[in-house]
A and B are shown apart, each in its own frame.
Chain A
Amino acid sequence: MGLAAFQRALCDLIASPALCLATRLNASEFLGQYDLSRREGQRLREIVWQRGMSTTCTLYRSNRVTPIYTLLHYSCVVLGEGLKKELEEYWANTELRDLEFKHEIARFSHFLRQRMAAGSITDQFIGEVLDLELALNELRFAPRRRILGTLRDASSGKEPDGLRPHPLVRVVRFKHDAGKLLEALALGVVPYGLPECESFLVLSAIGEELCVKSIEPAGARLLWRMQTGDVRCRDCDVQSLISEGLVGMWPAGPGETAS
């Protein structure tokens, strides 16, 4: 019996308006799951009837949706009306371990990928838009100066063991024209009917500002294949990427800290 059980019960109610309603109808069933004193039980019985409980439940949802809507905004646009259903499903099945934006979007993305793999989400754009937003966030949260410092130190020390994409560069492969897709999404429109056509976006956080690099499609495709570990290249294949600073003889390792 004690405060810890009371706090768990209160948090369970805050996370679930449905549970609050069920507790109004049958408090004993819910309260019976916790080791509560008579006073603690009475407080919870009363709380589910208070107007402020509804506000608290709404604030909980608002706080949980904020990182998702802020950092996976285009994915939310693509999901459209379906977003609410996905969020309900996600909240019902995922424990909230913390409110770190970085972790919450990783958990929600993982959930969406599972739903896509299971065929529950079939939208044609969601995979590539999610890839883009995850790549952007990975770079946004990357310890840029530390990575650049590690690369500088490594270049004078360890023996490089092969060509690799720069750890502060990400390539995203689209099944549609990336420019047209993102233009539409920026207006809040999902461009259904956009024909399939492979395209790439190269993102770089090497400079002070995160930017999109404009490079030839062939170069972008090669960079994407290197990023996915599909190919090890010879110098002559990637000369322009090397001269752009997108590929180099980096030692294995520093890129891992970016994720």
Chain B
Amino acid sequence: MTSLCSLPRLGVGLMYNPALPEFLHTDLDAIDFLEITSDMFWTDRGAGRSPRYEELESWIDVLEWTIRRRPVVAHNIGLSIGNAGRFDLEYVAHLAEWQRRYQFPWQSDHLSFAEVTAVDGSDQHAGVAVPLPYDHDVLDMLEARVQRFQQLVSVPLLLENSVYFVTFSDQDMTEPQFLNELTARTGCGVLLDLHNLYANARNHQFDAREFLEDLDVSRVVEAHIAGGTEFAGMYTDSHSGPCPEPVWQLLEYLIPRACNLRAVTFEFHDSYYGLLGPHGVRAQLVRARGMFSAS
């Protein structure tokens, strides 16, 4: 499997959303690569169904149009790698098939779980991405799964730091310690979502720069940047428009320190495209590129 330091430098890109097809046609020069949430390109009919995955033709058209013109990376949401009840190898096999088809430089997912296994063995969805406690038993479980994933999919897996609104007491490790240990044991990378880090630091009153100092940033391959909003009493990762200044400052701090950083991705929710407009999206990409290309 490719080591992190030999991954290609992609530059500055966008997370795909349903508002973007026209932008891709008119402003393709604004992006160096496109990131896709692969799970949005199919309907998952459920474990054991045949065929389990039904691809959405109009979405696949956009993917195939783009991949002829720009590199594409896969950012998944269905792995649920932290689900203690079951590791969905059928899903991993499907990602491996997509890997053979589209040759993504890497794939990523979230350090959390979204599915749980009921007592009767059936799958249930948590409705949100739920954080994991940073404990030794969780680390052991993830180590085996990350290794299995990388064996089957044959590209590095990046795991994204989650946004969390609740905290667990009496954890064995801090989040940076946990990420450092996981990446050291498995060779996987980190997709560092700087907006998630900013949201967590703001909601739980810690210093985001100290987090970066504690993290082995040589494992960071990709950074996410985005905007957010206050919602139900907390600052959330709603991807609601431009990045706030503190996120830009974190990116500026990270870039010279993260020797294997290969990509910076701006994310926004499609419902905010009307507010941002193509000029607003371009402005975010230009600012990110100004920082990244100086490194």
Contact = CB atoms under 8 A, between A and B. Distances in A.
Given A52-B203, A52-B234, A54-B233, A99 B127 contact: yes
A73 to B, nearest CB: 14
Contact of B124 (A11, A42, A51, A53): A11
A63 interface: yes
10 contacts: A11-B124, A51-B165, A56-B166, A59-B128, A96-B124, A98-B123, A98-B125, A99-B127, A102-B43, A144-B57
A2 interface: yes
A8 B56 contact: no
A54 B203 CA distance: 13
Contact of B166 (A7, A50, A95): A50
B84 A3 contact: yes
Contacts of A144: 57
B1 interface: no
Contacts of B57: 143-146
Interface of A: 2-4, 6-8, 10-11, 14-15, 39, 42-43, 46-47, 50-56, 58-60, 63-64, 95-100, 102-103, 141, 143-146
Contacts of A6: 84
Contact of B130 (A10, A46, A143): A10
Given A43-B169, A55-B232, A63 B124 contact: no
Interface string B102-124: 00000000000111111100111
Q: Majority SS of interface residues in chain A?
A: helix
Interface stretch (B133-141, B173-181, B244-252, B282-290): B133-141
Interface of B: 43-44, 46, 54-57, 82-85, 113-119, 122-128, 130, 133, 137-138, 141, 164-170, 203, 231-234, 236
A4 B170 contact: no
B226 to A, nearest CB: 16
Contacts of B166: 47, 50, 52-53, 56
A39 B170 contact: yes
A36 B117 CA distance: 16
Contact of B84 (A7, A100, A143): A7
Q: Which of A3, A47, A51, A143 has the most CB of B within 10 A?
A: A3
Contact of A55 (B118, B124, B231): B231
Q: Which of B57, B166, B233 has the most CB of A within 10 A?
A: B166
A47 B170 CA distance: 13
A14 B167 contact: no
A99 B167 contact: no
B94 to A, nearest CB: 14
Nearest to A49: B166
Contact of B169 (A7, A46, A97, A100): A46
Given A3-B141, A14-B130, A51 B233 contact: yes
A144 B170 CA distance: 53
Given A14-B126, A95-B124, A100-B43, A8 B233 contact: no
Nearest to B86: A4
A11 B138 contact: no
Nearest to A144: B57
Given A2-B137, A95-B118, 10 more contacts: A7-B82, A7-B83, A7-B84, A14-B130, A43-B169, A47-B166, A51-B165, A63-B128, A64-B127, A143-B55
A100 B124 contact: no
A60 B117 CA distance: 18
B123 A56 contact: no
Nearest to A95: B124
B123 A42 contact: no
A97 B125 contact: yes
Given A3-B141, A100-B43, A144-B57, A50 B167 contact: yes
A63 B127 contact: yes
A122 to B, nearest CB: 30
Nearest to A43: B168
B84 A58 contact: no
